Amino acid sequence: MKPLQLILESKDRGFDPGPFVKDDKYFKKFYQSHKELIENHNGLYAFDRALHIFGFSEMLGFHDIKTRNLPMEWRLLYGNAVDGLIFFAEEVFGNLFAYDNSGNIVLLNVESAEIELVLEDFDEWMEYITEDIDYTTGKVLAQEWAASNGQIPFGSHLCPKKPFIIGGEYEIDNLYVLSWEKSLLFKADIARQIRDLPVGTDVILE
């Protein structure tokens, strides 16, 4: 099955993004296959809400590409590291996929502020996502959370009680649910506090 078909097959049918209201400031910069997905579905949730692809939604700020790319406090905490990035999707822990200034697709690790080059276009990104869905989205933990606590609310992330960057476990007992804005603000502040510390430094987070 093709990557797009796999994503659409797992689409959360209970999510209503509202009407598609295109904003060419962002839309014109996307690859054609990305444009078609947004035009046809206006973004989506997939893989038990472990993958969230943003759309253009005037009624849902957490789903709206324009809103998700505003210079909010969480973004400002990352400083120059995120300059020029256009965020278009996230996985269950809030790590963000974005276009960089060259049109490449990168992944922002929200706890460390590290930016990893993923692929060069949207079709390759969909292949990357579907080759190892648990690794790229956190699907298994999303399923385990849903089985124990109910599905993750739309517009929310799974957050670690003890941050992953300082040894927190990828286990249900170390997780809780937080709205996307609070989640990103919390994780951006972690990244700020550990910035430039040598590997192995003892950390006391404030």
**What local confidence, expressed as pLDDT, does residue 190 receive?**
87
* pLDDT above 90 coverage of the chain, percent: 87
User: For 132-189, how does the pLDDT look when each residue is reduced to its tens digit (9 = 90+)?
Assistant: 999 999 999 999 999 999 999 999 999 999 999 888 999 999 999 999 999 999 999 8
Q: Return the closest-CA partner of residue 158 out of 138, 185, 132, 134.
A: 138
Q: Over the chain, what is the mean pLDDT?
A: 93
- Minimal CA–CA distance to 173: which of 153, 149, 202, 204? 149
Residue with tokens 């590997």: 199
Distances (CA, A) of 107 to 82, 96, 97, 184: 11, 6, 5, 14
pLDDT at 13: 97
| Cβ–Cβ < 8 Å for 137, 51 | yes
Res 2: pLDDT: 95
Q: Give residue 195's pLDDT band: very low, low, confident or very high (50, 70, 90).
A: low
pTM of the model: 0.93
Residues 6+ apart with CB under 8 A from 148: 172
